[in-house]
Structures are given as C-alpha cells and as structure tokens.
Amino acid sequence: MTLTTTGAALARHARGRAPRLFDTPLKKILAIAFLVAIIAIPLNVADSYILTVLTTAAIAAIAATGLNLLTGYAGQISLGHAFFVGAGAFCGQVLGGQLGLPFLLWLPLSALFAGALGAVVAPFALRLKGPYLAIVSLGLVFIGIYAARNLPTLTGGLNGTVVTAPVSIGVLDFAALRVGPFLLSREQGMFILCWLVLAVILLAVANIVRSRSGRAMQAFRDHDLAAEVLGARRLPTMMNAFIVSSALGGLSGGLLGVELQYIRPENFGLDLSIQYVAIVVIGGLASIWGPVLGALFIGLVPVIAIRLADVLPFISKPGEQGGVSVSGFGLVVYGVLIVVFLLFRRGGLISFFRRPGRRRPLAPATTQAAAAASPPDPAPGITTHEEGHSL
Amino acid sequence: MRDRTPGAIGIVAAAALLLTSCAVQTAPTAPSGGATAASATLASVPGFSLSDGVIHVGEMTALSGPIAPSANEQVAGQQAYYDIVNAKGGIAGKYPVKVITADNQYNPQLAVQEYQRIKDQVVMLSGILGDASTEALLPILKQNKAVALPSTQSSRFTAQENLGMTFTSYQSNVWNALSYLFEKGRISKSSTVCSMVQADQSGQARQDALEHAGKELGFTVGPKTEFAPTDSAFTAQIQTLKTAKCDLVVFGGANGNVPNVVAAATQLDYAPIWETEFFSIAQSFKDTDIATYLKENFVVTGLAGDLDDTSIEGIKLLTEKLGKTPTMQNVYGFMQAITATTILEKAVQLGDLSGAGLMKAMDGIEKIEYLGLNGDMTYGPVAKRLQPDTSSIFSYDPTAPGSLKALTAQYVAPKGRGPGF
C-alpha cells in the first residue's frame, strides 16, 4: 500500500513535469509543415509509383509505431507483429467489403479486433521476456497463416481475397477524391488518407508515452524490479503496451488491405514481421519519429536502387543470366545499410536529427528506478536512446 | 504573449504549396462527346509517343529470387519475338516494340508497387508472372482501364476483359493427358486416379478435370490430397495415395515441390504415374538421382514438341533468333509476345492504343495462331473467349533438350474439350 501510494505520488509529480508535445517553436513549425506536406505532396507529385511507395511507407510506419511502443518503450521483443497486421487486414475486408460497413466503422473495428487478439495472447506471451517472447510471438505468425488458409469464407484461403472495403468518409471518397475543381487519383487520395491516419497515431502514441502508463512501460523496460518497487504493476502495464501495439498493427493491416486491394495469407509472414523490426531499429528505438524515418528509408531504398541501375555496370539486364538484378542490388544496399547503422549509428536515423546536449533528465520515477539497480538493459539486443516524451 | 509565428508560417506554406498543385487533374465539367476512342488517326498515349513511334510494353516478372533464372528465360523468349517483329519495322511495319521490365519477385505486394512505377510508361503488360500477382493487379487494371497478359493457364482469368490469355488451361492439360494415357493403355477403367494439388483454385481446376475424366473414361477417382505452396513435407499425402492404391496421381505443384515429393515417394516405395505440368527446373535434375524416378514415372504437359524440332515454325524462328536450342520457358515468352503483337496490330489498325482501345482490339480479334507451338487462342467478345484445347505431352528424358521428350504434340482428347475448359 505504501509502495503504491509512493509510486502514484511520483507518477503524479512526474506528470506535472512532463514536457509539452510541441515545446519549441521549431517543433510547432515542423508539425505544421508535416500536415501541410500531407496535402501538398500528393497535389504536386504526379508519379503514382512514388505516391504508392510513400503511402506504403506510411502504413508500415503505423505498424512499426505500434511495435516501437512494445519494443522501444516497453522493452519487449516481438516477431509476431505481422499476425496482428494480417488480422486487421482480413477483418477490414470482412467488415468493410463483405458486410459493407463504412470506413469510420470498419477501420476502428479492425484495430479493435487485432487489439482483442492481443489481449487474448498477452497474458500468456508476457509471462516470458526477451528471446523467449520473440520465439513465442514468432509462433503467432505461423498460426495466423495456417488459420487464414483454412478460413476461406473469410480470407479466401490460399487464393486470398480482393479487398473491396470502402475508403470514404461521408462525401469524401479517398479512392476518387474531388476537392473543388481538382480531381485526385486513387494514389493521391490514399496518400492523404494514410498519412493523416499516421499523423493521428503519432500524436496518440506521443501522448501515451507521456502518460503514467507510458512512463511505467519505460520504467519496466529500464528495470522491472525497480519499477515494481515503485508501485507499478508489470502485467497490466505490459498488457497495455501489447494491446495498443496489436491494435495499431490491426489498423495498419486494414489500410494495407485497401491500399493493395488484394491480400492473401502469405502476405503476412515472417518477412513482414522482420521488416517491422528493421524499420524500428533503423529509424530509432523509443522515438516517435523513428518508425516514420525507418519506413521511409526501407520504402525508398529500392527506388534509389532502380534509379542507379542504369549507371552501374554490374546490374544485369532483364532476360540475361548472371549479374545482380535491380531488386537484388536494392536488397544488398538495404542489408549493408542495416549493418552500418547497427555498427556505427545505433540510435538510428532519428539520431541525426538530435542535437547533442539536449537530452532531457530522466523523470523522477525512472531516475529512482534506475538508481535502484544496475545499468539498464531493456532486453537482449535492444538499445534505447531517449525517453521520447516529446515529439 | 502567444507566439503566432508557427501558425503564420504554416498558413503561408500551405497556401504556397497548394497553389502550386500541378499534379491534379481538373474535374471534367461535361462528358466529351467529340473524340471517340477509335478515331482514325493514332494518338499518343502513355507508353506510346507519335514523335518516336515506339510502343512500350511492360513485363512483370520475377527478375530476382529463386525463380529468376526461369523468368529471365521467359523474358528472353518474348524479346526474341519482338526482335523479329522489329526487324520488319515493328507493329504495322512502323512502330517498334520495346519491353520495360518490372520485378515483382513473385510477390503480389511488390507487383502492385512495380505496376505503379511502369504503368504510365507502357501501353500494356505483355506478361504478369504469378496468379497471385495477377489477382493483385486485376482491380487496379480495371480502375485504369488497362490491359495485361497473365503468364498463367488459369481459366478463371479468361472472362476478364482486361486480361488476354495465351495458354491451354490447367483443366485441358489434365483432361488431354489422362485421355492420352487411357488411349495408350497406361491407365484403364480398372485404374484408380487420384490427385495431389495445391489447396487453391489451380488445384481445384485440376481436380475438376480429373473428375470429368473419371466420368468420361470410366476409371475410379481416388482421394484428393492437398498441400500449401510453402509445404515441404509430403509424407502424409503420399501415404494416403499409396494406401488408396492410386495408379496415377494428378500432381499440381510448384517447381520447388518436386524434389521433396520424389524423396517422400521413394522413401515410401511408391511409384505411380505422376501427371503434371511442365516445371522449369526439370533440366536441373538431369544429373541427379531424382532423374531416374522422374524418367520412369513422370508424364509432363507443355507446349510445342521436342525443343530441337525445327519443323515447328515457332521453334525454328526461336532457335534462329536465340542462336541455341530454346527452353520451354523461352517458348512460353515467345507465345505471349505473339499474343501481345497481334493485339497491338489490331489496336493500331483501329487507331487507338489506349487501354480501352486494346480491349476493343481483343474484342475484334477472332483468333490468334502460334506458329505451330500450340493450338489457337479464341478471342472476340470476352464471353466467347476460349483458351487453346491442345496439349503437348512429354516424358522426362535427361538426354533430351530441356529434359523433355515429346510423346505427342498438340494432342486433343478424342472426346473434345471438357465443359468450361
């Protein structure tokens, strides 16, 4: 009782000192520029390929933001994120495509469905930590693919299903957006929709990590015993992280389905899970913008590789054997950069945007927790770099 | 005092960026009734500019990944035919064809991205490798009123007005092969014929053909066993087939499944006749232990005939162009280029290379012939289109070109085309 009261008091104290989300004029300007760019980029970029790549990056960033909450902020490694993304994608098609629910219903319900699956799995999965949780979560991916293959009325089975869920809010149909005299293509409309959803998610997650629950996640990540001594309860805290993470995966899956317009169980395999982990690590763990940067990086590397293909002599021409294919070259570049980042820039891409000497002091609860024990090591293989309280 | 700087900057930036909105179309105020799609004069469209006269076609295939070598052979086959056409001046003697490739890595998600990359550079896709990629692209093709030629045998795409087919259906190949083996006495009314197919529409298509053959030829249809594309263990399925004493198994699998199937069958000492489609890695087994089992037990359906038989016009042209004996994948690509070229010729004749024009061209083509490589593909209005009903049937022979020895070329079941095949 005493511990709980102390912990609550510390948490209240910490909440009072939590930084504002936009605590400098520069951040306010950047936030406004971000919102302007969401509208302006599709209005000024006609290349549907670039728009598709950027839209897919936004969708991946939503899923990776969820994973970042679990891995970066709560210190739990998960390789099962594709399971929740797939659950959201198929649920979105069933609710929006088969049952005809409107966008404002089917998308949140897809997120809720994935979150509910997370709630079912979490009590069992969270009994484990580190690599053990990673392996258990890995099992979810295989279970998900098996289940999807064997529920053909819902998922189309091995054939997959065409996604017909609507993407309109009232008169705003993002598949054929008309703004005054302007007629936007589907790619332009989907860009606006997905990046706006991402903006809302980033704001929500930034607030979550500033909340008491969010700070408790970080306290457990840094030292679980110290966090419990301070009155935080591990299971509910980690459950929250797992459920929100799963729900964001589901939300991302719903959007991925309508973006691709065709999904099948094999879309949501281990490679997708690994891609999300790579996005979080490359972008920067425990940072709000890290997943966005990571998703853009992973999305744009193949684009750059294609642009370079014509000038590099070792790229094989289609129809010829030998040499490196354009996609193969993209994968090599992608792999090399991951290695370079992990060796020389562990803070990820976000670390390029941080000015040295501006790190915030740890919140009192975390400081005490950290002081109570040996150096923080959130989970094997994970290095965190900032509390991430502000945008 | 509140800092209003960010807000002001935001408003200015928003106004500036929105005012430069140069990538949007103005909504049409009224339907244009003047110009018709089939105007007499050819106009520039995405993928074709009157200024240079080059018609660009896209090839969506797996240029990287495990099936890249076989996919590249298909691209080479396509290019060989376009080279022949271009040597005569191109489409209608004056519009050369150029191929722009896109790498889907056999992944439908990447196919969507890659299609977005090249769609404004090409008048049509002259190939899409993978049924899943075709499924993924179909809604987008419909939205864009675009045309593509899937590299598939799946008859479920024949009724799509945006897709142009080339090859014999899975059903016809199974039906023809079973009829041929029945005719040659390798199976009889007392035989039990079973299946081992992927649990998807291609597997069901083969199963439909097997059941049709069972009714028509009078043999017993045994158990249907299924597997997923990524499965690598087949002991359970093969044990089921062995227990049911299946004399012949209709096998509908992917390239990578063959070694594992042969391994499981060998371990269980089970050697029925396996009837299957051509698999592109057949030749790579020629120096392995698997080759003996394949030679004794596999019957394969495919195109053309012996790959060194230059009495077949298509093989002769392909051999001359490639400077070597072609592979079966070369033949597949060559045939698709014939389909694409015929559609383009008709579209040029009608004066419209847009997607709508190409669809109209397909409606206006009666049939496409393939220089002796396979039977005719019937075009015309989408409801009347029919895939060829011919199959070339091969035994596995490690010493033959492509490890395939033709048992018969362009065989048609004596009882004719099956229902809906």
Q: Determine, yes or no, domain membership for B21.
A: no
Task: Tell whether B229 lies on the interface with A, counting CB pairs under 8 A.
Answer: yes
CA separation for the pair B205, A55 (Å, rounded): 36
Mutate to test the interface with A, among B64, B81, B226, B231 (most CBs of A within 10 A): B64
Spell out which residues of chain A touch residue B230, defining contact as CB-CB under 8 Å: 266
Looking at every residue in chain B, the average pLDDT score rounds to: 89
Quickly list DSSP for B299-341.
Answer: EEEESSS-TT-TTSHHHHHHHHHHTSPPPHHHHHHHHHHHHHH
Q: Determine, yes or no, domain membership for A301.
A: yes
Spell out which residues of chain B touch residue A36, defining contact as CB-CB under 8 Å: 10, 13-14, 17
> Which residue in chain A has the smallest CA separation from B229?
A158
Q: Determine, yes or no, domain membership for A238.
A: yes
CA separation for the pair A27, B299 (Å, rounded): 69
CB–CB contact B10 A56 (8 Å) = no
Partners of B226 in the beta sheet?
B197
Task: Tell whether B138 lies on the interface with A, counting CB pairs under 8 A.
Answer: yes
- Same domain? For B116 and B189 the reply is no
Q: Determine, yes or no, domain membership for B6.
A: no
Spell out which residues of chain B touch residue A331, defining contact as CB-CB under 8 Å: 64
- Assign B212 to helix, strand or coil: helix
Closest to A162 (Cβ–Cβ): which among B26, B79, B139?
A: B139
Partners of B59 in the beta sheet?
B101, B127
CA separation for the pair B418, A10 (Å, rounded): 78
Please state, as a whole number, how many other Cβ atoms lie within 10 Å of the Cβ of residue B268: 15
- Same domain? For B256 and B397 the reply is yes
Q: Domain residues for B379?
A: 55-167+309-388
CB–CB contact B22 A183 (8 Å) = no
Mutate to test the interface with B, among A21, A159, A326 (most CBs of B within 10 A): A159
CA separation for the pair B377, B395 (Å, rounded): 25
CA separation for the pair A298, A294 (Å, rounded): 6
Q: Determine, yes or no, domain membership for A6.
A: no
CB–CB contact A183 B24 (8 Å) = yes
CB–CB contact B136 A260 (8 Å) = yes
Spell out which residues of chain B touch residue A149, defining contact as CB-CB under 8 Å: 199, 228
- What's the Cα-to-Cα distance from B104 to each of A83, A118, B131, rounded to whole Å? 23, 32, 12
CA separation for the pair B372, B409 (Å, rounded): 10
B374 with B300: CB under 8 angstroms? no
As a whole number, mean pLDDT of residues B359-372 equals 96
Counting one residue from chain A and one from chain B, the pairs whose CB atoms sit within 8 A come to 156
B164 with B362: CB under 8 angstroms? yes
Q: Determine, yes or no, domain membership for B26.
A: no
- Same domain? For B191 and B293 the reply is yes
Mutate to test the interface with A, among B9, B18, B24, B324 (most CBs of A within 10 A): B24
As a whole number, mean pLDDT of residues B322-350 equals 96
> Which residue in chain A has the smallest CA separation from B2?
A25
- Candidates B224, B221, B203; CA nearest to B211 is B221
Residue-wise pLDDT tens digits, B254-278: 667 888 899 999 999 999 999 998 8
* A153 to chain B, closest Cα gap in Å: 13
* B214 to chain A, closest Cα gap in Å: 26
Q: Determine, yes or no, domain membership for B268.
A: yes
- Same domain? For B206 and B270 the reply is yes
- Same domain? For B158 and B216 the reply is no
The token duo for A293 is 């940067």
* A163 to chain B, closest Cα gap in Å: 9
Q: Determine, yes or no, domain membership for A327.
A: yes
Partners of A324 in the beta sheet?
A315
A162 with B11: CB under 8 angstroms? no
CB–CB contact B230 A39 (8 Å) = no
pLDDT at B30: 41
A223 with A30: CB under 8 angstroms? no
- Same domain? For B275 and B177 the reply is yes
Q: Determine, yes or no, domain membership for A223.
A: yes
- Assign B274 to helix, strand or coil: strand
Q: Determine, yes or no, domain membership for B328.
A: yes
- Same domain? For B200 and B254 the reply is yes
Query: Strands B273-277 and B248-252: what pairing?
Result: parallel
Residues 17-36 of B with CB under 8 A from A: 17-18, 20-28
> Which residue in chain A has the smallest CA separation from B118?
A49
CB–CB contact B22 A46 (8 Å) = yes
Which ranges constitute the DSSP H helices of A211-264? 212-222, 224-229, 234-260
Spell out which residues of chain A touch residue B132, defining contact as CB-CB under 8 Å: 160, 262, 264, 266
Task: Tell whether B214 lies on the interface with A, counting CB pairs under 8 A.
Answer: no
Closest to B228 (Cβ–Cβ): which among A158, A325, A328?
A: A158
- Assign A148 to helix, strand or coil: helix
Closest to A157 (Cβ–Cβ): which among B22, B116, B199?
A: B199
- Same domain? For B104 and B136 the reply is yes
- What's the Cα-to-Cα distance from A1 to each of A227, A229, B332, rounded to whole Å? 15, 11, 76
CA separation for the pair A25, A138 (Å, rounded): 43
Mutate to test the interface with A, among B4, B81, B131, B135 (most CBs of A within 10 A): B135
Q: Count of domains in chain B?
A: 2
CB–CB contact A44 B23 (8 Å) = yes
Spell out which residues of chain A touch residue B135, defining contact as CB-CB under 8 Å: 159-160, 162, 262, 264
Helix (H) or strand (E) holding B408: strand B404-411
pLDDT at A304: 82
Please state, as a whole number, how many other Cβ atoms lie within 10 Å of the Cβ of residue A233: 14
- Assign B125 to helix, strand or coil: strand
Q: Determine, yes or no, domain membership for A18.
A: no
Helix (H) or strand (E) holding A178: strand A178-179
- Same domain? For B281 and B211 the reply is yes
Please report where in the chains the tokens 């295989």 appear, as a residue. A142
pLDDT at B6: 54
CATH number at residue B95: 3.40.50.2300
CB–CB contact B6 A328 (8 Å) = no
Q: Domain residues for A230?
A: 24-371
**What is the ipTM score, two decimals?**
0.74
Sign of the alpha-carbon dihedral angle for B313, B317, B323, B328: negative
- Candidates A289, A267, A205; CA nearest to A240 is A205
Sign of the alpha-carbon dihedral angle for A270, A271, A272, A273: positive
Could you tell me which residue, A374 or B129, shows the higher pLDDT?
Answer: B129
Closest to A183 (Cβ–Cβ): which among B13, B25, B72?
A: B25
CA separation for the pair A65, A109 (Å, rounded): 19
Partners of A169 in the beta sheet?
A172
- Same domain? For B181 and B254 the reply is yes
Residue-wise pLDDT tens digits, B213-228: 999 999 999 999 999 8
CB–CB contact A49 B113 (8 Å) = yes
Q: Please give the DSSP secondary-structure letter assigned to residue B386.
A: B
CB–CB contact A261 B112 (8 Å) = yes
- Same domain? For B296 and B400 the reply is yes
pLDDT at B22: 59
Helix (H) or strand (E) holding A298: helix A290-309
Q: Please give the DSSP secondary-structure letter assigned to residue B157.
A: G
The token duo for A188 is 């332009």
Q: Determine, yes or no, domain membership for A379.
A: no
Could you tell me which residue, A45 or B391, shows the higher pLDDT?
Answer: B391
CATH number at residue A328: 1.10.3470
Spell out which residues of chain A touch residue B228, defining contact as CB-CB under 8 Å: 149, 158
Q: Count of domains in chain A?
A: 1
Closest to A261 (Cβ–Cβ): which among B3, B21, B139?
A: B139
* B340 to chain A, closest Cα gap in Å: 18
Q: Determine, yes or no, domain membership for A381.
A: no
CB–CB contact A43 B24 (8 Å) = yes
- Same domain? For B174 and B188 the reply is yes
The token duo for A311 is 């000038």
What's the angle, vertex CA A244, arms to CA A240 and CA A248, rounded to 5? 170
pLDDT at A334: 76
**pLDDT(B2) > 90:** no
Written as tens digits, the pLDDT of chain A (391 aa) is 334 444 444 454 444 555 677 778 888 888 899 999 999 999 898 888 899 999 999 999 999 999 999 999 999 889 999 999 999 999 999 999 999 999 999 999 999 999 999 999 998 887 887 788 888 889 999 999 999 999 999 999 888 899 999 999 988 899 988 877 778 899 999 999 999 999 999 999 999 998 988 999 999 998 888 888 888 888 899 999 999 999 999 999 999 999 999 999 988 999 899 999 999 999 999 999 999 999 999 888 878 877 777 777 777 766 566 677 777 777 787 788 778 877 888 888 898 887 665 555 544 444 444 444 333 444 444 444 444 444 5
Task: Give the rounded distance of the alpha carbon of B411 from its chain centre.
Answer: 20
CA separation for the pair A198, A251 (Å, rounded): 10
Spell out which residues of chain B touch residue A178, defining contact as CB-CB under 8 Å: 27
